[in-house]
Amino acid sequence: MKDSEPLSPPAGARGEALALYIHWPFCVSKCPYCDFNSHVRESVDMDQWQAALLADLAHEASVLPGRTLGSIFFGGGTPSLMPPVLVEALIAEAQRHWRFADDIEITLEANPSSVEAARFADLAKAGVNRVSLGLQALDDATLGFLGRAHLVDESLRALGTAQQHFGRVSFDLIYARPGQSLEQWEAELGRALGFGTGHLSLYQLTIEPGTRFETLVRRGDLVPADDDHCADLFDLTRALTTAAGLPAYEISNHARIGEQSRHNLTYWRYGDYAGIGPGAHGRRGHLATERHRKPENYLSAIARNGHGLSVERPLDAATQATEALLMGLRLAEGVDLDRIAAQSGIAASRLIDSKAAARLAELAFIEHDHEHVTVTEKGMPLLDAILAELVAIEPDAPV
């Protein structure tokens, strides 16, 4: 992002604001591309779930006392199915346990249906100040292919309602769909950029293990877009969003300056975050946490232990450094090697493969000096291959 203002400094430079993730696992239906921890249930006991989530939140607060909370993110599943009173109770309880940053970001993911949009005013009153809408596509045939329950007209009405009630609005689109041409995506993305939101999440369709789309691919009933076409679509996406003033700040996320997702930046900058709810992950310094994935198992754990933890494991220095690099190199700002060295205890000179770095820099895929590494615009389409070469930390890497 050399032609724009820099992002705010990493959390570690400010005293480590904490992020809180709250997972709501329920959906109306399961989309054929989705591998998230989402479940369809005929009924949900809201009182039981409120008690469980509040207990889980209290546990995390007890092991992370005295922190300032910089963001809350309600993810799923479909968090817009949560009653606003439950959202309000969780926000209030978080504020009781931690000090809120003056500019705290509170995001809720929502489906763009008329039923859920009717809750937006109450969700805003509950404290939500940013919403992320799963539009996914701007034509009805594609929405049907993706298994979405809404149509375009309904989703655009929901977008308009969101823009009335929330200070910040983002929405998702999925591209590189089977048969999608460059011209079709250019028209669709151009239309999306005209809606005036400050943030877009633009994901290429990936075939995830265990999904219905994977079954169709194995049968030969679905043919994914080829790699060369995906690369052309990626380049087109970067060009259009940059021209519209929403440059990429992460490989799939685009925003006006100042409208980047602060919560997700905590992940990508490898800051601390607490995760509650079924299947939620967290990072507390040198500890990784995971909650029970299945809703019923999660509730049983809460009743038995007072929290939903299934895993709480120490992270060795090599794992911490590797995770920090893999996350941070997704960002346009790149990574500060000295910061990762301070977090992990591994010397900055040992964090990346120097020979690979020299070769990749010569190819203009990365920019590298002694303290900083950035994947270039040319390198971003090849990010996975670059990471495989560049990040080569030995388990016994010396400090």
Q: Which residue has the tokens 């076409």?
A: 229
Q: Within 10 A of 308 (CB to CB), how many other CB atoms are there?
A: 30
Taking 70 as the threshold, does the pLDDT of residue 286 lie above it? Answer: yes
CATH architecture of 317-390: Orthogonal Bundle (1.10)
Please say whether the beta carbons of 270 and 328 come within 8 A: yes
DSSP secondary structure string, 64-114? STTPEEEEEEEEES-GGGS-HHHHHHHHHHHHHHSEEEEEEEEEEEE---H
Instruction: From 103, 159, 117, 166, select the one nearest 135 (Cα to Cα).
Output: 159
Angle, CA 17 vertex, CA 15 and CA 19 arms, to 5°: 155
375 vs 328: CA distance, rounded Å: 10
What is the side-by-side order of every strand in the sheet holding 335-336?
335-336, 372-375, 366-368
DSSP E strands in 210-286: the ranges are: 248-250, 253-255, 273-276, 281-284
Task: Please list, in sequence order, all residues whose beta carbon lies within 8 angstroms of the beta carbon of residue 294, skipping any fewer than 6 positions away.
Answer: 39, 278
Tokens of 74: 């309600």
Handedness of CA 312, 318, 320, 324 (dihedral sign): negative
For residue 170, what pLDDT is reported?
A: 98
pLDDT band with cut points at 50, 70 and 90 for residue 213: confident
Element (H, E) at 13: none
Share of the chain above pLDDT 90, in %: 77
For residue 358, what pLDDT is reported?
A: 95
183 vs 244: CA distance, rounded Å: 17
Residue 113: how many CA atoms within 13 Å on its side-chain side?
A: 13
| Distances from the Cα of 376 to the Cα of 178, 292, 349, 368, angstroms | 28, 38, 21, 10
Residue-wise pLDDT for 96-149, tens only, equals: 999 999 999 999 999 888 778 899 999 999 999 999 999 999 999 999 988 887
Q: Is 45 exposed, middle or buried, given 0-12, 13-18 or 19+ CB atoms closer than 10 A?
A: exposed
Taking 60 as the threshold, does the pLDDT of residue 24 lie above it? Answer: yes
For residue 36, what pLDDT is reported?
A: 63
Taking 60 as the threshold, does the pLDDT of residue 381 lie above it? Answer: yes
pTM: 0.91
Q: What is the DSSP letter of 382?
A: G
- What's the gap between Cα 174 and its chain centre? 14
Q: Residue 289: helix, strand or coil by DSSP? A: strand
Phi, psi of 319 (to 5 degrees): -65, -45
Per domain, the residue ranges of the chain are 14-268, 317-390
Tokens of 267: 């992940």
Q: Which residue has the tokens 């996350």?
A: 327
Residues 340-348 have a mean pLDDT of 93
For residue 362, what pLDDT is reported?
A: 97
CATH of span 14-268: 3.20.20.70
Residues 37-53 have a mean pLDDT of 85
pLDDT band with cut points at 50, 70 and 90 for residue 2: very low
Taking 90 as the threshold, does the pLDDT of residue 88 lie above it? Answer: yes
176 vs 203: CA distance, rounded Å: 8
pLDDT band with cut points at 50, 70 and 90 for residue 215: confident
pLDDT band with cut points at 50, 70 and 90 for residue 32: low
> Hey, what amino acid is at 188?
E
Please say whether the beta carbons of 149 and 111 come within 8 A: yes
251 vs 328: CA distance, rounded Å: 11
For residue 220, what pLDDT is reported?
A: 86
Please say whether the beta carbons of 173 and 202 come within 8 A: yes
Residue-wise pLDDT for 163-191, tens only, equals: 999 999 999 999 999 999 999 999 999 99
Q: Is 71 exposed, middle or buried, given 0-12, 13-18 or 19+ CB atoms closer than 10 A?
A: buried
Q: Residue 352: helix, strand or coil by DSSP? A: coil
Share of the chain above pLDDT 70, in %: 92
67 vs 390: CA distance, rounded Å: 34
